[in-house]
A = this chain, B = another copy of it.
């Protein structure tokens, strides 16, 4: 299915109105393989929405599970498309942060380890964050 079509369905299925901005925002998420910050979005979106509009779209997409938070080095919120189109239960996955370009990637195929309760702490979920160099930054030596 074409991306454009998928985006319109995604908005329909979640009862979100098809405004130019929200369509363009989803296109941006589909185009990028890494997590996007508010600033990334502000700089990339053509129709120049107010910053509040961006924050509110991100909130809405989060609530509907269309996007999810990804970790970031500098304490900034980043988001990426939630890929599990079929899964009802949230598919927990690892994330990779490149120490060179600071991009964050979802690693859907890496196994999250099981940890048993420790010292009175009741563990509900586990986050695994890998750091290193992404493929783009590995190519150039030194």
Chain B proximity mask over A90-111: 1 for CB below 8 Å, otherwise 0? 0000101001000001010110
- What's the nearest-Cβ distance from chain B to residue A102, in Å? 14
Report the Cα distance A99→B124, complex, angstroms. 9
Number of residues on chain A facing chain B (CB within 8 A): 32
Chain B residues, Cβ within 8 Å of A18: none
Judge whether A135 and B113 touch: CB under 8 Å. Answer: no
Binds B, one of A22-30, A40-48, A80-88, A115-123: A115-123
Judge whether A131 and B120 touch: CB under 8 Å. Answer: no
Neighbour of A125 across the interface among B75, B131, B135, CB < 8 A: B131
**Interface residue? A16 (CB, 8 A):** no
Chain B residues, Cβ within 8 Å of A105: 121
Report the Cα distance A138→B124, complex, angstroms. 12
Report the Cα distance A123→B107, complex, angstroms. 12
Report the Cα distance A120→B130, complex, angstroms. 13
- What's the nearest-Cβ distance from chain B to residue A73, in Å? 10
Neighbour of A109 across the interface among B75, B107, B118, CB < 8 A: B118
